Amino acid sequence: MVYLRLSPILGSGIVLLCLVLGAVRAYELELKLKDSGKATCLYAKWQMNFTIYYETINKTNESVTISDLGPVTYNESTCGDGKNSPKIVVQFGSGFSWVVNFTKDASDYSIDSILFSYNTSNKSIFPDAEDKGVITVHDRWAIRVPLNDIFRCYSLWTVEMNDVVQHYWNVLVQAFVQNGTVSKKEYVCDKDKPSTTLAPIIHTTVPSPTTPSTPKEKPEVGTYSVSNGSSTCLLAKMGLQLNITQDKVSTVININPNTTSVTGSCQPQTAQLRLNSSNIKYLEFVFAMKNENRFYLKEVHVSMYLVNGSDFSTSNNNLSYWDAPLGSSYMCNKEQTVSVSGAFQINTFDLRVQPFNVMEGKYSTAEECSADSDLNFLIPVAVGVALGFLIIVVFISYMIGRRKSRTGYQSV
């Protein structure tokens, strides 16, 4: 570091200054790792914060944002050896850890994966949290950077992993540093490149669909289908409303089927329905089979541009919704909510889906959600009551008729 080369008095002054600044800006992280020969082998400087959504003991959802990490340690960070890959390990608070690891091939190195753990037992950070102990979320990035280049991304970059929303900015990182010298040659991320980013273009050309609609307005029902060669293999009909909650603010977006295109695929065990539009890069529903004779909605993946031009993406591959027997369709006319993550929900309206065993492009008999069947249960009851009433009316009129005709005969 620069100050080590300065005179001791000035140096300690700057160290002190750095410590003071460090206390204020504790979220700026910097790490310079040296190998056994004292040569720099890994360098990183970055800022990050985390918003964590959690469930309380009262079954409500809360979130906490951690931007000041407090004192951090890098003790378990390593440049790796023949067997182990380099990694940066940041530990802070009680039970928080953040790990990124790197791999390399002949020409590039990769920022491979991110692993983040937090401790829901810590009541001072997660008040009233349902104690789920230490939760670890994981995401594979696989960002490739040419060897001997330093990766730079100053732009804000948002990543969502299950219930954790992570923001990164002012990122500089180089793994597999050669000859102990951190490179001056920057490999710049797409978001830092001025003209080639897609988001602003989309933002300016399509202003209206990104405008959040009023939450109460129901979305229009769209019909979607996926073909396998010449035959239809997946059918869906639904009104979709997306609900994105960030920093306690919810944005509700109705999907307009007129401007939404559909793709997808059908395999023997899984089926995908993928929607996209100008502001939705993709919204993917993945169906799977359960116990050989039922299907269900297993995964949802979404990536979209928000009104302010920022990216939002999330996914969940362990859902359990829309469960029905194979060879039938799942139907729910009432509003239903698919909760994908703490920050993302989908409200569905007039839903009907059949991801497997579609015959001649038509829906098979429907298995209805319990919310609907309450209503349907009332229909036979109502019909029964009406019929019973009719029988009584007919019987009474018959009796009256008979009595009248009898008295009639007598009077003649």
Ligand X SMILES: *[C@@H]1O[C@H](CO)[C@@H](O)[C@H](O)[C@H]1NC(C)=O
Q: Which residues bind ligand X (CB under 6 A)?
A: 61, 85, 94-95, 101, 103, 112-113, 115, 119, 121-122, 134, 138, 148, 156, 178-179, 215, 220, 243, 245-247, 249-250, 252, 256, 258, 306, 308, 310, 318, 345, 347
Beta bridge partners of 237: 223, 352
Tell me which residue of 261, 286, 283 sits closest to 272, measured CA to CA: 286
Length of the chain: 412
Q: Which is nearer to ligand X, 4 or 249 (CB)?
A: 249
Nearest position to ligand X, beta carbon:
95
Q: Which is nearer to ligand X, 11 or 294 (CB)?
A: 294
Residue pair 297/332 in contact (Cβ under 8 Å)? The answer is no
Q: How many CB atoms lie within 10 A of CB 243?
A: 18
Gap between the Cα atoms of 146 and 284, Å rounded: 32
Q: Which is nearer to ligand X, 46 or 305 (CB)?
A: 305
Q: Which is nearer to ligand X, 98 or 285 (CB)?
A: 98
Which amino acid makes up residue 167? H
What are the strands, taking DSSP E only, across 255-357? 261-266, 270-276, 280-290, 294-305, 311-316, 321-325, 329-332, 336-341, 344-354
CB of 140 to ligand X, least distance (A): 7
CB of 106 to ligand X, least distance (A): 15
Most distant CA pair in the chain, distance: 137
CB of 404 to ligand X, least distance (A): 59
Q: Which is nearer to ligand X, 100 or 266 (CB)?
A: 100
CB of 203 to ligand X, least distance (A): 11
CB of 91 to ligand X, least distance (A): 9
CB of 120 to ligand X, least distance (A): 8
Gap between the Cα atoms of 41 and 174, Å rounded: 8
Helix (H) or strand (E) holding 192: none
Q: Which is nearer to ligand X, 129 or 233 (CB)?
A: 129
